[in-house]
Amino acid sequence: MNFFKSFHSEISAIVNTLSASGDLPEGLDTSRVTCEPPRDASHGDVATNAAMVLCKPAKMKPRDLADKLAPKIAEIDHVVSVDVAGPGFINVKLANDFWYARLKDVLKAGTNWGDSDMGAGQSVNVEYVSANPTGPMHVGHGRGAVVGDALALLLSKAGYDVTKEYYINDAGAQVDVLARSAYLRYLEAHGQAIEIPEGLYPGDYLVGVGEKLKETYGDKWLNAEESDYLEEIKTFAINAMMDLIRDDLAALGVTHDVFSSEKALVENGGVDAAIKYLEDRGLIYTGVLEPPKGKTPEDWEPRPQLLFKASEFGDDVDRPLKKSDGSGTYFASDIAYHFDKFKRGSDQLIDVMGADHGGYVKRMKAAVKAMSDGKADLDIKLAQMVNLLENGEPVKMSKRAGTFITLREVIDKVGKDVVRFIMLTRKNDAQLEFDFAKVKEQSKDNPVFYVQYAHARCHSVFRKAEEEFEGIDLSVENLMNADLSHLTDESELAVMRFMAEWPRMVEAAAKEHEPHRITYFLYDLASEFHSLWNKGTGDVSLRFLHADNPDLTKARLALLKAVSLVIASGLLVLGVEPVKELR
């Protein structure tokens, strides 16, 4: 559990007590009071800004208020000292017993340590990947996939009821292009010489589709009109592409709970229903849009269109729902899709998409606000570009020259765990450099390795312990009984303090929808641990195993066990498998 939270409620209780006794005014709002680990560890274990936040409504000077709160805070369990510092911070030091208790919490909970009930079972829908079913995934898709998947895992850990969803864009012009491209490959499979015109998909991943089309249909479509074969071949090709994509995702360890089809949504009237819903609320009209400023398209001409009043919900202009040929725009079906997600019971929606969809954010948020009467919240995470490098040099990619690198190739080259971890070493909206040379390197330059190494080091001691102490019981149940008061070195306590912050980290990262924070936490924990480890090189008494002192050894093993569990727990959130040994 997040002990900063319970500290916060202790302080609120103190404030209320002082109010009741007349020492402080009634009705002070403690919601802005924070309890955090101080930036500088020498300040103590918990710092609170209570005196500074409450001084104004309490009509006191911050230091005076702090002096009033401090003696009461000193009475809280495990508090050994309270200092007032700086402009009015109250710094609290906790007894070692407190950290020993947290360590036992870790052992007891295992990799479930850090689980939170913050989400209280609220339903969250995370939509991610949603790559068009027109070809294999590229590395950029992979980033969205990892960000979405890790975010979903994180939210689950924080107590939300998460649905992981993929939206298949199987309607519209792009899948028509796919169908035509597949048809050419079908002709090719029948021995015809083909030339792929500009605008169709040239990728050779369609060759196999052409052959399967031949197997399935024989020569049935060879001399047919497009209007006859298009639908059937389209469905066939889309299915083939989705198999391909699902396969790529599986290789990344990404699985979705729900696949939603845009085509189905159009065909079952969902889009029309959504438009009608907005129409009934007076949010739709037919009008003519201003041409875009600055860069007017060549073929621009004013044309009346069916428009959604997005500007009433924070968007810049109203947005079209129908194309000039009368069919729905992508936006129209996406409105229907988000409406559908909302009606299925999620009032918290998260979309992960590529940064090139940035211009789409405002209108979608406007639509969700309108469709849900403001009840649903949509957060859109934009996954920025990934730049592939080889030893600092950009990897040149060209679709035409066939040097395009797919996500699958990257996974096969470095492994899924490396891809997942590296994709989360940056905020989602910052560009990411992915250097093949770096990520395969087994050194501290490579964060994946650095964290895995810490985990592996723990296990190497367990193996050593089994060799040196015959019949030693390394089970959690046994280690839980260790006398932890042997652990008094500053580095040991530093590691314990750091682990105790994990639940708070999970909650903060989940609240902000920022899975990359987990990566940084793990890196820092690994760093604390490596530091402790190395102290043993200079000071033999700090090593973990001591043949002449089984009690001390047991306590140290308990600490190691906890470290390995917290690292494993964090890696699980990232979808990365903790390794016990590095080759």
Partner RNA sequence: GUGCCCAUAGCUCAGCUGGAUAGAGCAUCCGCCUUCUAAGCGGACGGUCGAGGGUUCGAAUCCUUCUGGGCACGCCA
Which residues between 485 and 514 bind RNA (CB under 7 A)? 504, 508, 512, 514
Tell how strand 89-94 and strand 35-36 pair up.
unpaired
Answer yes or no whether residue 550 interacts with RNA by CB under 7 A. Answer: no
Give the residue from 119, 128, 113, 111 showing the smallest Cα distance to 161.
119
Which residues, 6 or more positions from 87, have their beta carbon under 8 angstroms from its beta carbon?
A: 52, 62
Distance CA 131, CA 125 (A): 17
Which one of residues 105, 211, 433, 577 is an interface residue with RNA (CB under 7 A)? Answer: 433
Told to check if 19 binds RNA by CB under 7 A, we report no
Interface with RNA, residue 198, by CB under 7 A: no
518 binds RNA (CB under 7 A): no
Is residue 434 part of the contact set for RNA (CB under 7 A)? no
Minimum CB separation from RNA for residue 505, in Å? 7
Residue among 477, 537, 547, 548 that touches RNA (CB under 7 A): 537
- In terms of CB distance, is 61 or 343 closer to RNA? 61
Question: Among 52-60, 186-194, 393-401, 568-576, which window interacts with RNA (CB under 7 A)?
Answer: 52-60
Q: Does 543 bind RNA (CB under 7 A)?
A: yes
Q: Is 199 in the site for RNA (CB under 7 A)?
A: no
> Which one of 69, 137, 456, 500 is in contact with RNA (CB under 7 A)?
456
Name which position in 132, 311, 372, 478 contacts RNA (CB under 7 A): 132
Could you tell me which stretch among 7-15, 88-96, 200-208, 565-573 binds RNA (CB under 7 A)?
88-96
Nearest by Cα to 52 from 63, 38, 67: 63
Does 544 engage in binding with RNA (CB under 7 A)?
yes
Distance of closest approach, residue 363 Cβ to RNA, in angstroms: 8
Measured CA to CA, the distance from residue 374 to residue 291 in angstroms comes to 30
Query: Residues 189, 194, 197, 203: is their CA dihedral positive or negative?
Result: positive
Instruction: In angstroms, give the least distance from the CB of 554 to RNA.
Output: 13
Q: Which range binds RNA by CB under 7 A, 201-209, 234-242, 297-305, 480-488?
A: 297-305
Q: Report DSSP state, residue 501.
A: T
The verdict on 478 binding RNA (CB under 7 A) reads no
Q: List beta partners, residue 435.
A: 389
d(CA 396, CA 387): 10
Q: Which residues pair with 352 in a beta bridge?
A: 381
128 binds RNA (CB under 7 A): no
Q: Which of 449, 498, 563, 576 binds RNA (CB under 7 A)?
A: 449
- Which residues does 485 contact at the CB level (< 8 Å), separation at least 6? 96, 100, 555
348: part of which helix (H) or strand (E)? strand 348-354
DSSP for 41-100 reads GGG-SEEE-HHHHHHHHHTS-HHHHHHHHHHHHTTSTTEEEEEEETTTEEEEEE-HHHHH
Residue 62 is a binding residue for RNA (CB under 7 A): yes
Cα–Cα dist 45/401, whole Å: 58
The site map against RNA for 243-262 (x = CB under 7 A) is -------------------x
State yes or no: residue 460 binds RNA (CB under 7 A): yes
**Closer by beta carbon to RNA, 38 or else 202:** 38
Measuring CA to CA, which residue among 444, 440, 438 is closest to residue 534? 444
Specify the DSSP class assigned to residue 549.
-
75 belongs to the binding site for RNA (CB under 7 A)? no
Residue 331 touching RNA (CB under 7 A)? yes
Q: Is 87 in the site for RNA (CB under 7 A)?
A: yes
Among 191, 193, 225, 293, binds RNA (CB under 7 A): 293
Query: Which range of residues in 223-231, 264-272, 288-296, 570-578 is near RNA by CB under 7 A?
Result: 288-296
- In the chain the first and final C-alpha atoms are separated, in Å, by 35
Among 209, 368, 451, 461, binds RNA (CB under 7 A): 461
Size of the site for RNA (CB under 7 A): 100
Give the Cβ contact number of residue 550 at 10 Å.
Answer: 12
Residue 362 as a binder of RNA (CB under 7 A): the answer is yes
Q: Is 242 in the site for RNA (CB under 7 A)?
A: no
Q: How far is the CB of 455 from RNA (least distance, A)?
A: 9
- Whole-angstrom Cα distance, residue 295 to residue 285? 26
The residues, any chain, with a CB within 8 Å of residue 358's CB and separated by 6 or more, are: 382
* Torsion angle of the four alpha carbons 146, 150, 151, 155, in this order, in degrees rounded to the nearest 10: 160
**Phi, psi of 269, rounded to the nearest 5 degrees:** 85, 5
Residue 324 contacts RNA per CB under 7 A: yes
Kindly tell me which residue out of 80, 101, 361, 493 binds RNA, with binding defined by CB under 7 A: 361
Q: Which residues contact 538 (CB under 8 A, 6 or more apart)?
A: none
In 3D, which of 111, 152, 137 has the Cα closest to residue 419?
137
One residue of 228, 429, 483, 490 binding RNA per CB under 7 A: 429
Q: To the nearest whole angstrom, how small is the minimum distance from the Cβ of residue 305 to RNA?
A: 6
Question: Which of 223, 227, 398, 443 forms a contact with RNA (CB under 7 A)?
Answer: 443
**Per CB under 7 A, does 143 bind RNA?**
no
- Selected binder of RNA within 47, 213, 265, 352 (CB under 7 A): 47
Is 337 near RNA (CB under 7 A)?
no
Residues 221-240, one symbol each (x = binds RNA by CB under 7 A, - = not), give: --------------------
Q: What are phi and psi of 540, to 5 degrees?
A: -60, -30
Distance between CA 203 and CA 205 in Å, rounded?
A: 5
The total number of residues written for the chain in this structure: 583
| Cα 379 from chain centre | 12
Should residue 344 be labelled a site residue for RNA when binding is judged by CB under 7 A? no
Is 417 a residue that touches RNA (CB under 7 A)? no
Is residue 59 a contact residue for RNA (CB under 7 A)?
A: no
Joined tokens for residue 92 = 């609290």
